[in-house]
Every structure is written in structure tokens, then in C-alpha cells.
Structure 1
Amino acid sequence: MLRILLLVSLSIAFAVEEDEFFFFGHEYKRTELGDAVDKASMRLLKDLYESSEDKNVITSPLGVLTLLSLYSTGTTGKIKEEIVNFLGLPDYKKMTESYKSLTEKFTEMNPEFLTMANKVYVASRYELTDEFTAVATRDYHSEVQALNFTNPSEAAKIINEWADQKTRGNIKNPVDENTFSPDTAAALFNIIFFQGHWHVPFEKADTVDKKFQLSATESVQKPTMHLVQSLFYHEDKELGARMVELPYKEPGFRMVVVLPDAMDGLPAVLDKLAQKGVLEDVFAMSPPGQDVDIDMPKFEVKSKFNLKDVLVKEGVSSIFNQQAEGIVKGQGVEVSEVFQEAFVKVDEEGATAGAFTGLVLVATSSLSEPPPPLPFKVDRPFLYAILHQDTVLFAGTYTH
């Protein structure tokens, strides 16, 4: 049996500061695809958090989902059924149309802030089927390149150069010669790179060391950013968490920070979000009628996962033990590995003294004093998600 290596999502996100912004509104629509990506993303995040020794986790579930959608186009039967069920859309046609549209939207965005790239490498001694090649290039905007996997060190060098270029030097060596075996027939790759600039400035001078609780009894000092500003906010007592939205300058992008009420409440919040997703709460956010006084640690997280066990747990197992006949001409293939390397950095790098020029209007009375700021102290393990409109691009946890 020939093997196909599915390398998922070399993904990276930055958040850096700009000196001023204008707030143009908050008009996002909730879609069927957004809901499906959301729920699959929260399940993956929970599984990775639970299976990882390091509870600082960053993942780009969209990279996983995109490549599974592409892979499914060369499959039939149980393999296709499991992928469709996991991706959470009503049927195969809806799934492929949705990911075709999503890929087109993201690959055509300004690469200064978002790069989404798919690539299929096929072993030099094989050919992809005409149908799979057409779908990969036309619908998934994927490059297709022949590669000599019998020289694994040279193959790894070529792939790493592509990853380095697409992530602007931030993910350099995701593969090595041991990644590939002599029977590797093809490899599918996805890269998502996001570099956003805060709409709301965090002044670098306001960043000081503050206490971050690792647990109820243990704490450390963390460089902590500070901001007092009108932000979208929501409380969910059933979830046991509060959340704020930090918008980016780039249209449609935002980070949502979910802060558990309890010091040790992150696992319980993850359990609940894995069942319902985060979008229900995201779309319930609104200006609270007062400024939000937020403290949030600067952080940088890098994760590398083998996703095979997680996908099997989520019901996607046939890709690893059943043949896909529609990818490589004259050959059945199965997936040998699914892995992901992701990186996120959130800070105020490049900050300059600036003015906040934003408007969020709330009803006021000339006779009343403005209410005091609402405290939002991110001083305990929390989770976060980076979205474009209603689509989760990245999701992660920060615990230490």
C-alpha cells in the first residue's frame, strides 16, 4: 500500500500594535460553514489540550479541515462519510462548495496580513489523477509539484524552503528526512499566516509585570499589557466565563479572549465549548455601556502535534487504513501521518505613542457620571480564538 503524507497547517499569527484606528462597526453574519468550523475547532482544541503535556496550546483547525476536505475529493464510501461528518456540514456537495468558497476568499486576501496556501507534492514516479489535480488547482488554489521522495533529505529541504517563505521565516524546518518513507506517494500541505495590527493600542509604557495564577496556590509574574477602552463584552454564567473582543485593524479580523470565572475553570469551559462552539457567545457580545479595564499578558506559544490519535478519537479513522483510489493514478493510497506546527505571538511590538480615535455610542445623560470601568483581569489560564468574521482561524490556550 502506498502512503500519502498529510501535513496539516504550518500556521502562524502575530498581533502587533498600530498608533491609531477608526472603529467602523461590527457587522458580522453567522453562517452554516462558520458554525461547522467553530464546533470542529473547539473539539480539536479540547482534545489537544487534554493530550498535551504543555497546556499552552496553539492550533489552526481550519488547516486540518481544509486538507481533509481536499483529500475527501479523491475518496469514496466510509472515508468520505467520516470526513463529511467531522467537518459538520449537511452533505458532501455542501462541504466542497463551502471550502471552495472559503479557500478562494482567503487566498485572494492581501498577503501583507493573511496568507493561505495549499500545496500538493507528488512523488516523481507517480502522477495525480486528472480529476484530483483539477480540483486541487481550481477549487483549492493549490500548487502541484513533483518531488523525489526517494531522496528524503532533498525533499525535506525543498518543502522547508517553501514553508519558510510562506511564513516569512517563522516556521523553518517542519519536516526532516525521517518524515518520508520510500513508499510516500504524495504529501498535502496547508499554510495559514496571519499578521494583524491591533485596532486598540496597548501602550508599551503601560506593560508591567503582574501576577498570573498558575493554580489556586501558585503564581508567577508575567509582562502584562493594559488598556481601558470600549470593547465588545459578554458574560455567560452557564459557560462559567466572560469574554472580550480585541479587534484588528485588518477588516473582519478579531481576537476573542475567554476568561473562566474560576481560577481552575479552563478545563470545564473547554468541555462546554467543545459541545456548543464559541460563536454563540461571540455573537452575543455587545458594548457593556462602560469601558473595559483589561490586563492581559504578552505571550508567545509554539505547538507541534501529531494529529492522528485526535482524528481517530473524533471519528476520522478510515483515512489511515482504507484506500483512496482517486488521488494517484493507478494506485490506492492511505494517510500515514497528520501533523501540524503552529505559532502565535501577541504583544505590542512596534508600538508608538498614538491616539485612539474610535467611537462606540451608548446612551448617556448629561446629569449622570459615566460608570466606572469594568475590570477584566486575564490573570489565570484562559483560551483565545482569532476569527475572520465568523470563521475560526486559530484557537489556543494559555496557562503558564
Structure 2
Amino acid sequence: MREVKMDKILLWSLLLTFSGSQASSPLAQRNTEFAVDLYQAVCLSHKNNIIISPFGTTLALGMVQLGAKGITQQQIRQSLKFQETSTGEEFSVLKSFFSAISEKKQEFTFNLANALYLQEGFTVKEQYLHDNKEFFQSAIKLVDFQNAKACAETISTWVESKTDGKIKDIFSGEEFGPLTRLVLVNAIYFKGDWKQKFRKEDTRLMNFTQKYGAAVKIPMMKTLLRTKYGYFSESSMNYQVLELPYKGDEFSLIIILPAEDVNIEEMEKLITAHQILQWFSEMQEEEVEISLPRFKVEQKLDFKEALYSLNITEIFSAGCDLSGITDSSEVYVSQVMQQVFFEINEDGSEAATSTGRTNDVTASHEEGLEEMSAYTSLRS
């Protein structure tokens, strides 16, 4: 029997960490590759704890890519690992996935909602609206961004309703200006029970080792279960990998436990998509005694710098080509933000992510159990 005492851990929690046959699907592999790239990029600019939703970011960028042309489109497609297929095919796969997931909702809660908030009077091409509705089931809503505070309240209320109240006040109104024309918002909500729950009476206050070695007392959940487990060694670094499946076996939480002498930052640098997929193929079912922290965390991140490092740069410049969205010239993306809520307890986990894009129009050099919500806005 293995003992996995997670008093110093690295959680690799992808909302879409597929189990079973899903793990080898092209969609899962591409999402994993982009997830690792995004995670490494965010690590460069954020040194504290990082909670992100790669899938929420994929949706936000995908909605932009539907209306992008030329270099702008190529940069997004390359970063998202899309194949050289016609635009839309990759989203058809996504659509099929959500159809399959919706058939199993009795096992967990998984809700996806997308919306396009348009400035009243701003013309968006019918094909773009059609494709967003076809692939992302996006609702179209007209607003007046000149009344920034009212718009912020409207969109924030929508996000809150789609994420079971976990993501609140995602907008304050300061994100919108006189040049804001379009805000794309995607909200994903996931709440799942563990396939085998932890008993609340077994939870105890125990020492948890923080980043720089200090120990604090936190609630540690304990259980004994049979699950997939692997012991790996990479570049003289030893670590354990554990899969905690959710009820229904469609989603899993992957936990990496470095050896005591391993620096977590160095460990993070070694993680690759190939490794993650290798874990899925090589982990074996074993009886494992687990000690896992019970915790809740919320974080809001600006992804602009991270996307720049992934060579997604054109969308932020006034010369980007978003002519598939509108004929208005010099429309560009001003912001890509993500807000995430993530909680792990004895019953399961819950998370919320908000990722978005703001699009502006240039003029005179002006310029969120698991849940997720994402926004993107365009300015012109």
C-alpha cells in the first residue's frame, strides 16, 4: 500500500482533465499541450500560487479566432495547436464533446454559457454571429458601454448566475471605455463529487509546508482508496502522481507530489504535455492512503503578458485583422483577464473561472467543485 501525504504539493488541475478513452482524444491532447504552454508562460510573470483554466482561455481565444484573418488568425491557431483544417472543424469537435457531456449530467454539474455583449449600433457580421451561436451557443446582447457601470453590473450578474454565485463582480466598469465595442464572455461551471468521498470525521489539523519552508496548520483530509498512481523520476527529480476521479469517471484531478528535497519551481519547469499524457498511460491502480489539504482559493490574472510570450501579439495591436467580426477598421483586443475560484473539500471540488477579452477601436492613440467564467472585449 502506498502512502501519499500531501504536505507540500503541486496541483495540476485542468478543468478538462479527461479520463478513460477521452484522455487520448485529439481534443484532450491539444488542450493539454496548450495548458502546459499557458501555465509555463503565466509562471514567468506570476511567482505566487497560480490557479488557471486553460480551457476557459481556449474558448475565449477560439471565439476571437472565428473572426480573425491573416497573421492574427495564424498566431491563435498555432498557439491553440489547431491543425490545418478549415476554421470551424475544431469547434465542431468541441460541440460534440459538450453534447456527450450533457448526456451524463446526472453524475456531475457541468454548465457552459457564452455571450456576446455588443455596443448598440455597432455592426457585427452575420456569419460571425451565426458561427458563435453554432459552435459556442453564444447569446447576443445589446448594451451601451458609455454607461460603463450599468454594463459592468449587467455582465457581472450574468456571470454570477452562470457560476452558481462563485464569481462575483468580475467587472467594475473601469474595464470599459468610450471605444469599447464588443465584450465576449464565457462562463463554465463544474461541480463534481469524488468517486470515493473523504469522511469528514477523519479530517484533522496538520502541518502544511509553504513555499519557503514555513509550516502552518490546515485541515488535512484522509482516506484509503484504490486509484491510479505512479512514481516517476525526471532529471534526478523524484515525484509521485495521483489521480482522484470524480463520480462518473469523465473528469479527474491530477496531483503531483514532489520528493521532500525537490524544489517545486524546478519541478514545474519540467512538466510537459508529453509527460502528462505519459502519466495517464503508465499509472497503475493501487491501494493508496491519501492526506490532502482542504482549501479554497480565488485569483484574478491578466493574461496579456503570458499570451505575448506565446506569440499571440497581433490581437493587441491596432493593425490586427478581425475583419471576420466587423468591417470597422482598427479593431483590436485590449484585455484578456481570467478569474478563477477553486475549492476542494471532503465531498468533491468546485471551481469557477472567468476569462475574457475586451475589444476597442483605436482613435487618436487611445486605446471566473470547479467553476469558470471568461470575458473578452473588443475596442475599435
Query: TM-score, normalized by length of structure 2?
Result: 0.80
Task: Give the AA of the match of 2:158.
Answer: W
Deviation at 1:275, TM superposition (A): 6.1
Larger radius of gyration: 1
Deviation at 1:26, TM superposition (A): 4.7
Q: Number of residue pairs matched?
A: 329
With over 3 angstroms needed to count, the CA separation of the structure-2 counterparts of 1:262 and 1:268, relative to structure 1, is farther
SS in structure 2 at match of 1:241: strand
Residue 206 of structure 1 corresponds to which residue in structure 2? 202
1:96 to 84, 88, 91: 88
- Cα deviation 1:201-253 (Å, max 9, x = unaligned): 20101100111112574211221000111111012211632111111113411
2:39 to 3, 20, 45: 45
Deviation at 1:157, TM superposition (A): 1.0
Residue 137 of structure 2 corresponds to which residue in structure 1? 141
Residue 360 of structure 2 corresponds to which residue in structure 1? none
Deviation at 1:194, TM superposition (A): 0.6
The gaps in structure 2 that reach 5 residues or longer are: 1-12, 350-369, 373-380
2:127 to 121, 131, 152: 131
Residue 280 of structure 2 corresponds to which residue in structure 1? 282
Task: Give the AA of the match of 1:98.
Answer: E
Deviation at 1:147, TM superposition (A): 1.2
Moved beyond 3 Å, runs of 4+: 25-29, 274-277, 329-332
The gaps in structure 1 that reach 5 residues or longer are: 1-10, 14-24, 352-392, 396-400
Task: Give the AA of the match of 2:163.
Answer: T
Residue 352 of structure 2 corresponds to which residue in structure 1? none
Say yes or no: does 1:113 pair with 2:109: yes
Task: Give the AA of the match of 2:344.
Answer: V
Task: Give the AA of the match of 1:152.
Answer: A
- Cα deviation 1:110-131 (Å, max 9, x = unaligned): 3961111111111102121011
Contact map agreement 2:159 2:187 (CA 8 A) in 1? yes
SS in structure 2 at match of 1:325: coil
Deviation at 1:274, TM superposition (A): 4.1
Identical columns (%)? 24
Q: Distance in 2 between matches of 1:314 and 1:26?
A: 30
Alignment of 1:281-300 (within 5 A): 281-288=279-286, 291-300=287-296
Residue 51 of structure 2 corresponds to which residue in structure 1? 58
SS in structure 1 at match of 2:271: helix
1:78 to 71, 84, 107: 71
Alignment of 1:245-394 (within 5 A): 245-274=243-272, 276=274, 278-288=276-286, 291-321=287-317, 322-348=320-346
Task: Give the AA of the match of 1:174.
Answer: I
Choose between structure 1 and 2 for higher RCO, CA contacts under 8 A separated by at least 6 residues. 1
Say yes or no: does 1:173 pair with 2:169: yes
With over 3 angstroms needed to count, the CA separation of the structure-2 counterparts of 1:28 and 1:125, relative to structure 1, is closer
Deviation at 1:46, TM superposition (A): 2.5
Residue 376 of structure 1 corresponds to which residue in structure 2? none
Deviation at 1:34, TM superposition (A): 1.3
Q: Distance in 1 between matches of 2:94 and 2:313?
A: 25
SS in structure 2 at match of 1:59: coil
SS in structure 2 at match of 1:230: strand
Deviation at 1:394, TM superposition (A): 8.8
Q: Output the aligned Cα RMSD.
A: 2.6
